[in-house]
Amino acid sequence: MDLKAFYNLSYGVYLCSSWDEGRPVGCVANSAMQITSNPATLAVSLNHDNYTNQCVKKTGYFAIAILAEDSNPLLIGKFGFFSSKEKNKFSEFPYAVRGKLPVVDDCLAWISCKVIDTMETATHTVFLGEVIDAGVLRQGAPMTYAYYHKELKGKTSPKAPTYIAEEKQSAQYVCKVCGYVYSGATPFEELPDDWVCPVCGVPKSQFEKR
Would you state the pLDDT for residue 45?
96
| Long-range contacts (CB closer than 8 Å, 24 or more residues apart) made by 156-159 | 157/28, 157/80, 157/81, 159/27, 159/47, 159/49, 159/50
User: Which contiguous run of DSSP H or E holds residue 28?
Assistant: strand 23-29
Helix (H) or strand (E) holding 174: strand 173-175
Percent of all residues in the chain with a pLDDT value above 90, rounded to a whole number: 54
Instruction: Phi first, then psi: give them for residue 84, nearest 5 degrees.
Output: -65, -20
Residue 186, pLDDT score: 46
Torsion, Cα of 137, 90, 181, 145 (10° steps):
-40
Instruction: For residue range 95-149, list pLDDT tens digits in order.
Output: 999 999 999 999 999 999 999 999 999 999 999 999 999 999 999 999 887 777 6
Interval 178-200 mean pLDDT: 71
Using pLDDT thresholds of 50, 70 and 90, give the confidence band for residue 71.
very high
Calculate mean pLDDT across residues 55-67.
97
pLDDT at 185 over 60: no
* 31 neighbors 47 (Cβ within 8 angstroms): no
Instruction: Give exposure, 70-103, as e/b (b: 16+ Cβ within 10 Å).
Output: ebbbbbbbbbbbbebeeeebbeebebeebbebbb
- DSSP-derived secondary structure letter, 7: G
**Predicted local distance difference test score (pLDDT) of residue 86:** 86
Calculate Rg over the CA atoms of the chain: 17
The answer on pLDDT for 150 being more than 80 is no
CA distance 124 to 53: 9
Report the alpha-carbon angle 142-121-163, nearest 5: 45
What is residue 164's predicted lDDT score, i.e. its pLDDT? Answer: 47
At 184 the pLDDT is 57
Tell which residue, 147, 204, 153, has the closest CA to residue 175.
Answer: 204
Given a cut of 70, whether residue 154 has pLDDT beyond it is: no
Q: For residue 41, give the 3-state DSSP assignment.
A: strand
